[in-house]
Amino acid sequence: MRILILEDEELAARQVQQLLTHAGLAGEETPVLRSVEKALLWLQQNPMPDLILSDIELLDGNVFSLYERFRVTCPIIFTTAYDQFLLAAFRGNGIAYLLKPFDYEQFRTALEKYHLLRANFMPEKLAEPVPMLSPDVVRELSQALRHNAQPQYRQRFSVRMRNGLYVLQVEDVMYVQADEGVTFAVDATGTRFPLNGSLTELERQLDPGRFGRMNRSELVNIAFIERVEPYFNNRLVVKLRHTDSTLMTSTAQTPEFRRWLEG
């Protein structure tokens, strides 16, 4: 069985691969693609897979821009951290939708839907393969995303800890920090949670009204800012609530940070 995974988070992609292994469906080489452009190139150069497991937001944009540009004729199971505002659109067209974090039972149920689709839309039964994601469905989902701006931003992180996956809500993140090639989310207790992706990638996924750039290595959550004080060389010191920690803007970033604070 040929499966394609579209997922920009390494941890989430690994989880999907583990669930496929549990279900006995993992092949020797299951491609994992992190961007729309790489996915488009792969689809142009390879036979249509039997199934696509697809996140909605990839590194370079919304995945529906891919499905608008390339005619997909296999079932798609969406795996996403978005809230339920898209559920009606998916249910109305029989598309499986898994809200992160999901477990094996939810994953198995989605696979059962896939097998049902496969049984009813086998290519040999049809003069021409029927696209599982029609242009009308793509248009409906794209419009739903455009009309619901807030849910487009990340709402939670799934973080691998010693005892399994920990779900960290974005609202609990005090600041995000890049340190020696690893990006961490830090909560009010000072606990550091390793994240997948660079600081720049994560900045695109977070609500800019909530998280502001301080310097080359830090983003701060405005909900945790207690006060801001001037510092040497046109920098600002930010005192955080519920902690003795402080952060500091860079000289270059200070003007933009001031504008961000003023809303």
- Give yes or no: residues 146 and 103 share one domain: yes
- Write out pLDDT tens, residues 194-235: 998 889 889 988 999 999 999 999 999 999 999 999 999 899
* Spatial distance between the Cα atoms of 41 and 235, rounded to a whole number of angstroms: 45
Q: How far is CA 48 from the centre of its chain?
A: 24
Residue 101: domain span: 3-152
- Give yes or no: residues 40 and 128 share one domain: yes
- Give yes or no: residues 180 and 129 share one domain: no
Please report which confidence band the pLDDT of residue 242 belongs to, taking 50, 70 and 90 as the band edges. confident
Last residue of a domain, one of 92, 126, 152: 152
- Write out pLDDT tens, residues 70-88: 888 888 888 876 655 455 4
Q: What is the pLDDT of residue 121?
A: 52
Residue 89: pLDDT over 50: no
* CATH number assigned to the domain comprising residue 129: 3.40.50.2300
Residue 11: pLDDT over 90: no
Angle (nearest 5°) at CA 157 between 155 and 162: 155
- Write out pLDDT tens, residues 26-57: 666 789 999 999 999 999 999 998 888 888 88
- Give yes or no: residues 131 and 203 share one domain: no
Q: Quote the number of domains for the chain.
A: 2
> Model-level pTM?
0.52
Whether 73 maps to a domain, the answer reads yes
Q: What is the pLDDT of residue 236?
A: 95
Q: What is the pLDDT of residue 197?
A: 84
- Write out pLDDT tens, residues 113-158: 777 766 665 554 444 444 455 666 666 666 655 555 444 688 888 8
- Give yes or no: residues 121 and 191 share one domain: no
Q: What is the pLDDT of residue 130?
A: 46
Question: Which among 129, 145, 185 is positioned nearest to 161, based on CA atoms?
Answer: 185
* Spatial distance between the Cα atoms of 54 and 80, rounded to a whole number of angstroms: 8
